[in-house]
Each structure stands twice: as structure tokens, then as C-alpha cells.
Structure 1
């Protein structure tokens, strides 16, 4: 596992799809999610279906128009994120597209973490209040943005705006800053803004240390399977919905035709057709006939 490097907000975003959920108003059943790799700020939008055109519109509205043009966009190689339309559009803004290895979501770990957090909070809110999942999305995003993250030690809101958001509990119990509110607080606010870069620098150091720990823990747990060019392998089948759970878990054989420095492999099928994307060694097994 490699630890990705990012040292400032809005430079690198992960993007992914969560769902399908139970059908909501407007036939919405999917959630398009993006997360900033530095601040952990999350944006999400419920949609009925997700096409390349909708992904492009989502990136424009939720990333570029709010936070500026990113340097890199990380996704899996799902058809919604690939193809000439999106590739040419990203290139026109100087955005580098990075695709994770097939069936290797750890490469887009921040999006996976955001997905799990969204699902956990959604489930908790629906169990408590009921209602439609679509109506809870804004509240879920608010909870994520105002909760300190282990990697940075602070909230996404703080790293984006330089101060903490006033949350409902503060109004109810009148926290110190509510009680001592000063209408003419321009001096204090300017000081906070001056400290934003310092806070981000501290978060960057904490983030690098956290990622290094995660990398070491992962590498201790995972035993790599080295393959050589010419080896025959099984590849893991990624389940798709309930139907996918009934399919055989491995497919093949496939031949290894190229080994990448990252530990991923390019494969070709029995007819000599190369698969579109590299596969992680964690999702391959040596092929044994019979």
C-alpha cells in the first residue's frame, strides 16, 4: 500500500458512487460523493442515475465553483468516470484523472472512508427519526464537516474556514463564544484568518504521520503475492448487487502481461484481449487447472 501525498486543501479529490438506496422522490437512488483529500470536506448529491454528463456537472458545481480547479481527481474506472467526454473536459481545465486498480478501492481510500461514514450516519438518523434518506443527506454532510478527523486532529470546517461552525448544542447551552459574542469582532476574525495557514501546516504534518502509520499497519497485515509476466492467474470477481453475490468469486485464467512498480498487473484473457485497467495482487490468485 502506498500513502498518497497531499499538502493543501482542494488539490486532490476522490469521487465515488454510493447506492442503490431505496427509491426516493424524483426516482433518486444513488449518491454521488466527493471528498477533499486534505481537509476531508465532503460534498454529495442524490441522483436518479449517474451519467458522464452528470459527473461533469457535479464536478463543476460542487468542486470547481466552490473550491477552485483541483490538480487531481481520483476515481475507480467505472464507466461514469471514464471515456473521452470526461477526459477531454478534465484536460481542458488541467485536471489530472487518476484511476484506481480494478476491485482495489483502497487506492481511493478517502472516498471509501467518506462512503462508510455517510452510510453509518444515514443509518443512525433514519433509525432514530425515520423518513426518507434523501432528506437526511444535508444533515449527514453537516455532521461529517463539523466532526474532528483522526488524521488531521481538527474538523473539515475548521481547515476550510479557519474557525469552528456554531453547532446547535452551543445555542442550547450557550457556549463561551455565544456568551461572549462581540459584534465588532473584526480583529479576532482577522487573527483567525492569519492563523489558517499555520493550522493547515500542522494538519499536514499530522496527516503525513497518520498515513504513514496506516501504510505500515496495512503492509504488516497484507502478504503480497508476487507474479511474473507469463503467469496464469485467477482474478477476483467484484459482486454487483444481489445478483453478483451468486456468481463464482473468481474468473479466469488470465495471463500476466505487465508488472507495474505499484504491485498491480496488466492482464489479458484467453483470446489475447488486454483488460482495460491493472489489477492489484491482492485480488489475484495463482491459476491451477482442475
Structure 2
């Protein structure tokens, strides 16, 4: 309209008056193309884990529905196969999650009937969770859940098509996702959620961080403690608690190995090797036979 008018006329505020005409034309407005997309406002970074969580339903995928939940701070994900996505069943799942992680302060969902039901709203009110709804028919505002949903679907399908069950695929993806460095945070969800990485199949490639014996300083503390724990040495004769039938309560034995000083020992009794706690051992003379 402006281009045609400019080719024939000109008067002050011509462009503005043409815009007014179009803004007051109901036919034009009803058939208007979508406006230019504005940049989405980023959700504020929560101060700690499990402060704000995003939830969404996924499916049907292989004839199953899934409830997916992701923590905004750590990106820790949860996914549950749902037989029904009713408010009652969804509340049951949330209760099991809250038992492990506690109540979040904020829950973000879309406007699905489950989330907007009075039953679910009352549940959130009772546990003190502030519920926020995204605009209807505009899922990008719940982008954190939406992105995870796409990633979940993509990887689960690949695993299933490799010959595994949906349940196996779901668990494998969740395990690896939780232990993989997230590009947004620079750390894995497990590290931010629990302060440690999850021990996984790749951990076998690294040296075992668990020491086999107690640190020397800890041994000294045990020996010098007020309880005056008795310690035994390798080769020392001891009386060992005997749990065999038709045997004496205590049998003569010998310390073969000190497993944990002042705590557990490997002893030999009649050619048998037993692991015994210090409370199952008695001192005896070295000349006893």
C-alpha cells in the first residue's frame, strides 16, 4: 500500500496514516502473518540445585508416555514411563521424586490439563511449590524441558533401534546424560547435583581411588584412642571365636594377615582361613599349643 501510494502521491504523515488504515481493518488483521519473533527472555539462573524444575510430557513414543523433569541449575534429568498422565498418577511420581530431592521452590510446565487441574494445583500449594505456566501453544518458553525432550527422543530411538528395550534405552540415556559435561554449565549434572561424578563403566579405565588400607595416621588414632583398642600382629597366636558345630566356643589360631589394623584380621584355625573382627579374638600366650 505504501509503495503504490508513494508512486502517485505524497502528503505529510502519509506512511503513518496508511498504517492506521491497516491497523483498523479487521480483515487485514485476521489474516495477518505472524509477527517477527522477539528474542526469548532467558530464565534467571537459580541460586542452587532443585530450586526451579521444568516438567513436560513426552509421547507417545513406542506407544508409551513419559514424564520428563529437569533441574534448571544442574540440568539433572528425570524420566518416568507413565501408563496414564492423569493428575493422580503424576502426583504419585512427583511424591517419589520429592522424597529423594525435597520440594523445589518453582515448577514450570505448559498448560496441559494435568498441570492445570485443581488436583495438581492443590498438591503444589500443599507442598509449597510455586507453579508457573507457559503461554498456550508456545512451548519454547519452557525451553529447558523442550530441549531435553528432543534430546531424549533422539537418543532413545537410536538405542531402541540398536536392539534394546525402551526401558533399557531410557535408563542408559539418563545415566550417560547425568554423567556428561553439559555445554551450558561446563560440568556434569551429577557433579552439580551431588558434588561428585557417578561411577560408570568408563570409571574402570581409571585407577581405583579407594585405598585398600587405612591411612597410617588413622591407624595411629585407633591405636592411641581412649578406648585402647587391642591390635594384633601377623604371626601372633590368638583365641578365635569358633562358630562351627560341636566345637569349643574359642579355638586356637594364628594371625595370617592384618586387614584393617585394630579392626579385622585374617586368621588360620585348623588349616581354615577366617576373617574375624577384633571383638572375635582373644589374647593368649605364645607358648600355648
TM bracket, shorter-chain basis: 0.5 to 0.7
Deviations 1:136-168 (A, max 9, x none): 211111011011111110000111121212221
Mapped to 2, the partners of 1:146 and 1:158 lie a distance apart of: 8
Matches within 5 A, 1:1-290: 1-5=40-44, 6-23=46-63, 29-62=64-97, 64-128=98-162, 130-171=163-204, 173=205, 175-176=206-207, 178=208, 180-183=209-212
Q: Retained in 2: the 8 A contact 1:148–1:155?
A: yes
Larger proportion of helix: 1
Q: 1:70 to 1:183 in 2, by over 3 A?
A: farther
Mapped to 2, the partners of 1:184 and 1:33 lie a distance apart of: 43
Mapped to 1, the partners of 2:86 and 2:214 lie a distance apart of: 46
The offset of 1:169, in angstroms, is 2.0
Mapped to 2, the partners of 1:69 and 1:117 lie a distance apart of: 26
User: Highest Rg: 1 or 2?
Assistant: 2
Q: 1:185 to 1:3 in 2, by over 3 A?
A: farther
The offset of 1:124, in angstroms, is 2.2
The offset of 1:184, in angstroms, is 6.3
SS in 2 for 1:81: helix
Structure 1 unmatched runs, 5+: 24-28, 187-290
The offset of 1:21, in angstroms, is 1.7
The offset of 1:98, in angstroms, is 0.3
Alignment root-mean-square deviation, CA: 1.7
Deviations 1:48-84 (A, max 9, x none): 221011111111112x111111111100000011121
TM-score (norm 2): 0.57
TM-score (norm 1): 0.57
Deviations 1:241-286 (A, max 9, x none): xxxxxxxxxxxxxxxxxxxxxxxxxxxxxxxxxxxxxxxxxxxxxx
Number of aligned residue pairs: 175
Mapped to 1, the partners of 2:176 and 2:128 lie a distance apart of: 32
Mapped to 2, the partners of 1:158 and 1:165 lie a distance apart of: 8
Mapped to 1, the partners of 2:131 and 2:154 lie a distance apart of: 29
